[in-house]
Structure 1
Amino acid sequence: MYEEAAPPGPLAGVARCVWRSASEGPKRIVPDGCLDLVVGDGGVFVAGPDTAAWSSATRPGVELRGVRFAPGRAPAVLGLAADELRDRRVSLRELWGRPGEELAERLLSGELSPAQAVASRLAEAPPPDPAVAALIARLDAGAARVAEAVTRPGASRAAPGVAAARVEDLFAVSERRLRRRFVQAVGYGPATYLRVTRFQRAVALAPRVPGLAALAAAAGYADQAHLSRDCRALTGLTPRAYFRGPSTVDETVRDRLRSA
């Protein structure tokens, strides 16, 4: 069993979803560009961001609950750069010492939900980096290359209101400085994030796009071989093996594709 729900109002823009999961066997978790706060099985920890698949195994009947942060938003809440958590599972006690241990006890007892724990820290969290947020949005929108996302002609003229301000912020930052800020916020560089989001797009599209060649084209890959390489790198499986199983894609990704 795996279920997702929209984040409660206080977490709008900070979290992608809240979720709960119970499994009788190992579950393959593939990279999605996000960090999660996870509660259950006697522990509280922060997971990700991942660059390759990992196996989550819990005892039969044990339920895990969590908050999946929107890309780039976890460091402000956690007080730690995302790249320091890349490919790691770190307990709250290790992150925050005694305060983390006290919060973990409240989460495990049910006194607080994961969403409430995150919400309790928002007042002290700094606002998102506008240049990083702009680049994330443009990569999520389906840019074929990072260079295209950074330098797309006419983008600042086409984007009204707040979007225009974000694009101006993007162009005002040097490429090297933007990349460093992106790595700290997301956990890895724009090229890796683009690779991850493109694969997540393929997973979301797979149920309604027949054939791997058509799926590769629909998701923005150069060809089927490109999809195959990324699938092996990110999941450890061939596309035929991976897409034959149940989807692990974030439901919110699928919802965005349906409304596009």
Structure 2
Amino acid sequence: MYREWVSGIPGVVAWEATRAPSGSGGNTVLPDGCMDLIWHEDGFLVAGPDTRAQFSDLATRRKLTAVRFAPGLGPVFLRVDASELRDQRVSLDQIWAPRRVRDIVAAVEGDPGSGLVDAVRRDLDDARRSPLSGLAGALGSGMTVPEAASVIGWSERTLRRRAHQAFGYGPKTLSRVLRFQRAIARARAGEDPATIAAECGYSDQSHLAREVRALSGSTLGDLVRRSSGP
């Protein structure tokens, strides 16, 4: 079973996945521009920003407790260039010094959910949030990359370089991923593909279908029938 709850930290969602029965398979994790810090009985795992769907069977083998960082926020907490983790799943001790790993392991003892949220809140309160955090919201609402660069006051070249550090890929890829997520949300709300294609900025319904297939390996109808997990 998978559930989310409000962490109380802007841009951070807490979630939990309980151990699934043996032989139940896994889940397809869809690209969303986010990064996750996942705790399980063997330690911490960092899920980097994805450019394509990823298969995960983690929750079939153990209970997971995690936080999901909105686009651009994960690298601030983790203190890492997001592009180094693109399409990757790595152990936290590959990123952090042993002392910092020990501190967060100690924080989750007894109550992983609240301990992890408290650790993230404490570090983010002391960290400077990404100046690009607003870019994800702008692109997610349909703003074009040239428009976003103009609003921020950067050249498109500078925007691309900074976006790779903050999001793991350039603004055009981020825009594509966020548009894909908008399309899925509207499809799951019952809208028809033609309307979704027109209002989410796809050239036509065939373009929407090709993008969904490229990013998820599936069809829009299949995605509506099933949900994404950890």
1:127 to 118, 123, 129: 129
User: Does structure 2 retain, via aligned residues, the 8 Å contact 1:20–1:65?
Assistant: yes
Normalising by structure 1, we get a TM-score of: 0.77
**2:95 is paired with a residue of what secondary structure?**
helix
- What is the CA-CA distance between 1:135 and the residue it aligns to? 2.5
Alignment RMSD, CA only?
A: 2.3
Normalising by structure 2, we get a TM-score of: 0.86
More relative contact order in 1 or in 2 (CA 8 Å, sep 6+)? 2
- Separation in 2 of the partners of 1:46 and 1:137? 23
**1:127 is paired with a residue of what secondary structure?**
coil
The aligned amino acid for 1:97 is A
User: Does structure 1 retain, via aligned residues, the 8 Å contact 2:47–2:90?
Assistant: yes
Who is 1:255 aligned against?
none
- What is the CA-CA distance between 1:133 and the residue it aligns to? 3.0
2:16 to 6, 9, 20: 20
The aligned amino acid for 2:116 is P
- What is the CA-CA distance between 1:27 and the residue it aligns to? 0.5
- Separation in 1 of the partners of 2:128 and 2:189? 40
Who is 2:183 aligned against?
202
Q: Deviations over 1:54-102 (max 9, x none)?
A: 1110364732111111211111211111111111111111111312441
Please show how residues 57-72 of structure 1 align to structure 2 within 5 Å.
57-58=57-58, 60=60, 62-72=62-72
Instruction: Say if 2:226 is the partner of 1:246.
Output: yes
Distance 1:239 1:232, change over 3 A: same
- Separation in 1 of the partners of 2:59 and 2:35? 23
How many residues are paired up? 224
Distance 1:207 1:95, change over 3 A: same
Unmatched runs of 5 consecutive residues or more in structure 1: 152-166, 250-260
Who is 1:215 aligned against?
196
- Separation in 2 of the partners of 1:241 and 1:103? 42
- Separation in 1 of the partners of 2:106 and 2:80? 22
The aligned amino acid for 1:18 is A
User: Does structure 2 retain, via aligned residues, the 8 Å contact 1:44–1:104?
Assistant: no
**1:39 is paired with a residue of what secondary structure?**
strand
Identity of aligned residues (%): 40
Aligned structure 1 segments of 4 or more residues deviating by more than 4 angstroms: none
Who is 2:29 aligned against?
29
- Separation in 1 of the partners of 2:175 and 2:5? 25
Please show how residues 174-193 of structure 1 align to structure 2 within 5 Å.
174-193=155-174
User: Does structure 2 retain, via aligned residues, the 8 Å contact 1:40–1:108?
Assistant: no
- Separation in 2 of the partners of 1:147 and 1:186? 17
The aligned amino acid for 2:16 is R
